[in-house]
Structure 1
Amino acid sequence: MSQLEDGVEASSARFDRALARLDASMKNFNARVSELHRVEVDTQRLVSERAKLAGDLDKASARAKRLDDSAHDVSRRLVEAMETVRDVLAK
């Protein structure tokens, strides 16, 4: 084998190794892009769920406030009624 043939063969082997590394890099890159896309989709889903839960919490908080206000009003009215009954009974 001549020196030229040895050089061509060595160059061809280096080229094949470079192509194999490029192929491996592209597969790794594609896997990372796919993972990034999955993370972005999951993040958007979580943001959407968070917004829904925040809205639900606001509604529940408003309802709890109305119930608390109603309970306070009922309690006040009961006290007034008991005082009225005491006044009537005292006469």
Structure 2
Amino acid sequence: MEAAIARLDGAIGRLDTSLEHLRARMRTLTRIEVDTRQLINERAKLASDLDKASARAKRLDDSAHEVSRRLVEAMETVRAVLAK
């Protein structure tokens, strides 16, 4: 009887150890899941910011081309007036 109780105590001890290891892995997994969600949210924000910055850069580039075109026109007008 004592041997059976000792074996049962040993088995319960191993089960407790296994459960503690499982709990530790579950806590780690939960932390990883939280970190992953944060990274996904951060990535979405960065992608949105990049889209906005790209759109602004395109508008600035378009404006620069328009200013350049107008400057060329103005210089041509000045040349024409000076040539008269």
TM score, norm. by length of structure 2: 0.96
For 2:21, the aligned partner's letter is N
Q: Structure 1 residue 16: deviation in Å?
A: 1.1
Identity of aligned residues (%): 70
CA-CA distance at 1:13 after TM superposition: 1.4
Alignment of structure 1 residues 52-67 onto 2, 5 Å: 52-67=45-60
Instruction: Name 2:18's counterpart in structure 1.
Output: 25
How many residues are matched?
A: 84
5+ residue gaps, structure 1: 1-7
TM-score with structure 1 setting the length: 0.89
Amino acid of the structure 1 residue aligned with 2:40: V
Q: Does 1:15 align with 2:14?
A: no
Report the Cα distance in structure 2 between the residues aligned to 1:80 and 1:14, rounded to whole angstroms.
98
Whole-Å separation in 2 of the counterparts to 1:16 and 1:26: 15
Correspondence for 1:3: none
CA RMSD of aligned residues (A): 0.7
Unaligned runs of 5+ in 2: none
Matching of residue 42 in structure 1 with residue 40 in structure 2: no
Q: Which amino acid aligns with 1:25?
A: S
**Superposition deviation, residue 43 in structure 1:** 0.6
User: 1:86 offset after TM fit, Å?
Assistant: 0.7
